[in-house]
A and B are shown apart, each in its own frame.
Chain A
Amino acid sequence: MKVLSEKLFGGKQGAIGLAILSLLLFVVFPLWLDLFRLGLIGKYVTYAFVAISLVLLWGNGGILSLGQGMFFGLGGYCMAMFLKLEASDPISTKIQTTPGIPDFMDWNQLTALPWFWEPFKSLTLTILLVLIVPTLLAFIIGFAMFKRRVGGVYFAIITQAIALILSILIVGQQGYTGGVNGITDLKTMLGWDIRTDSAKYILYFANAGLLIACMLLARYILTSKFGMLLLAMRDKEERVRFSGYDVSNFKIFIFCIAAMISAIGGAMFTLQIGFMSPSFVGIVPSIEMVIFAAVGGRMSLIGAVYGTLLVNFGKTMFSETYPELWLFLMGGLFIAVVMFFPDGLAGVYEKYATKFNLTGKLSKLMIKFNKSASVTDELVGEKP
């Protein structure tokens, strides 16, 4: 039991962190925020999936992928294709030349559903494909590149180019993909209206639950022997290779896992926001997601989640009040994080938490953290 908790929660420290995060996501936000703001948090949380995938891949594996948006997008597209098919039943599309196919296909003179849309008629297959398609793509890319020992900067630039190719393709093949507008106007899932208030709450909680689950999975991977190897690979790849391990297989594996986690985020994004568009597949979102992880702390799963929430919250707040200043702030933040806080918020927290032993003059944020920390400490203490 102890071993498992050690592995899943990362010891007492890790368990407290997770408990605070769960408390925030499941209790504080839903009680404190109205549905509109909660929906925003829900959206940010879907980005957090990508951020934690980057913690695995980049922080611990030393592999910087600038194409995570591509996996997020693919997961989202798979889900969107299912929802779109359900929204385009023959009755609600009867004004089209060919009823029963998505509206954008009809506008592009398609008269039958393309073969690769067929599996998305079934929810089970869709969920499988959400997990498989991005993972498979990651496997192909990873296999081709890691087997040839492409790494570091080259890997980053090539993944970026692949993300660009994919986004041009999606935009260009609009008869099959909805083009630049993406797949929009999604309504129901198996007859359940995803636009209602109650659905929004349910999806929010499901989303937050999945995030915690993915964090546990990631934590488990990191604390296992594999996680140790990952770190070793990051720091001294040659030495790991000389010890008889096939480094490339590990890299492929972690790249696939990271792709799958990102894809789950993408699928949840589609469900909550109600559409998916190529603007999540390209270069800019992929880099932004790296930034979320960097701000939170590339080594820390929990840090990455907070980083995502904070950067996005800041983006929303600032772009509402000072749209001109926003880019300065965002750019400045990246530079500052890289230059002064390479371990992000998590690094800052660690430094000050140990220095002041969780008391003393901490920032406002830290005080909030501490308050809830002591509350949960009691809660956790009472449980057994």
Chain B
Amino acid sequence: MFGYSMEEVGNIVVMQGFSGLSLFSVLLLMALGLAIIFGQMGVINMAHGEFMAVGAYTTVFLSKIAVSYDIVNSYFVFAIVAAFILAFFIGYFIEFLLIRHLYKRPLDTLLATWGLSLVMQQIFRSTFGAKEVSAELPEWLLGSFKPTEDIDIPINGVFVMGLALIVTVGVYLFMYRSRWGLRVRATMQNRVMAGAVGINTKKVDRLTFALGCGIAGVAGAAFTTIASTGPTTGSLYIVDSFMVVVFGGAASLMGTIASAFGIAQAQSILQFFMTSSMGKVATLMTIVIILMMRPEGLFASKVRK
């Protein structure tokens, strides 16, 4: 087939399938936090990428400490937890200062959070310098896993996949199987009623926003294994994140998962057969056209508002 042996083609199909899955988990991690903030709360958080950067810089910072104490092999798990906690509290604080005043004006949250993203970028630049930095990664995250001689499965990809799975399950359990999730969903569906039955809606808002930011932090920490960390790193992810959430149908967790999967496979396959940048254009174009025909996204929310 095209001058390649069946075995070669088979190997490539396996690895290509894996890279599609790996892109899927990257997109999913990016979008999950946003799916909560934008999908559930309706807040257009343009600083979402910067919350990822918070997570990434936390990891980089802890890796420096880990190097000096010679615990590089074990710090990474703590770094992810720390990234979550830090991004969570920054999100909590930001909600209190900024977002809660803007719930009635969703388009204005876009502008305010864009401003926030500029401020955060400059904070990163002033603290960590304009240059890109990289986290010292533990040995077990480097290299590839080889089921056969010719197939390489990147370990960092597997790691991101595992993390995406854990976070997704966590979000699912939180949103649909816990009392907190029940309160969140009740508040988002009908704030007044939720308030009337005794839910502290303000507290719910704050925690929901903070949770979304925390997940962004985890995503950022995970991405230090596959990409760079710089003051403007966050802006690389923002459009992709929004596309995934919007394409999936904003208010649906299933939709986000399905849309991340669809976009990842499309992009991965198109980029294999076209040049990388044209593959990206074709993917975005397809999404936009589908969205024009089906504006509510793949999975429309069945709730009447």
Contact = CB atoms under 8 A, between A and B. Distances in A.
A339 interface: yes
Nearest to B238: A283
Contact of B295 (A145, A160, A284): A145
Q: Which of B108, B117, B120, B121 has the most CB of A within 10 A?
A: B108
Given A157-B246, A172-B277, A327 B110 contact: no
Interface residues of B, number: 41
A334 B112 contact: yes
Contacts of A381: none
Contact of B121 (A144, A327, A337): A327
B111 A334 contact: yes
A335 B116 CA distance: 7
A168 B277 contact: yes
Interface in A148-183: 148-150, 152-154, 156-158, 160-162, 164-165, 168-169, 171-172
B118 A156 contact: no
B118 A161 contact: no
A69 B284 CA distance: 18
A290 interface: yes
Contacts of B281: 165, 168-169, 172
B98 A342 contact: no
Given A153-B44, A153-B106, A172-B278, A338 B295 contact: no
A338 B15 CA distance: 48
Given A157-B242, A161-B287, A327-B121, A339 B292 contact: no
Contacts of A150: 291-292, 295
Interface in B253-289: 277-278, 280-281, 284-285, 287-288
B118 A339 contact: no
A149 B106 contact: no
Nearest to B119: A331
B122 interface: yes
Contacts of B125: 324, 327
Nearest to A63: B107
A150 B293 CA distance: 10
Contacts of A291: 111, 114-115
A357 B42 CA distance: 40
A304 to B, nearest CB: 14
Interface string B77-113: 0000000000000000000001001100111101110
Interface in A88-147: 144-145
Given A158-B292, A160-B239, A172-B281, 19 more contacts: A64-B107, A144-B292, A150-B292, A156-B110, A157-B44, A157-B243, A157-B246, A158-B288, A165-B285, A328-B119, A328-B122, A332-B119, A334-B118, A335-B98, A335-B115, A339-B98, A339-B102, A339-B112, A342-B108
Interface of A: 58, 64, 144-145, 148-150, 152-154, 156-158, 160-162, 164-165, 168-169, 171-172, 283-284, 287, 290-291, 294, 324, 327-328, 330-335, 337-339, 342
26 contacts: A148-B295, A152-B107, A153-B42, A153-B110, A154-B246, A156-B110, A157-B243, A158-B291, A160-B239, A160-B242, A161-B239, A161-B284, A161-B287, A164-B239, A165-B281, A165-B285, A165-B288, A290-B111, A291-B111, A291-B115, A324-B125, A328-B122, A334-B112, A338-B111, A338-B115, A339-B112
Q: Which 9 residue pairs of A and B lie closest in terms of their CB atoms, listed nearest first?
A: A334-B115, A331-B118, A331-B119, A327-B122, A150-B295, A331-B115, A144-B292, A338-B112, A335-B115
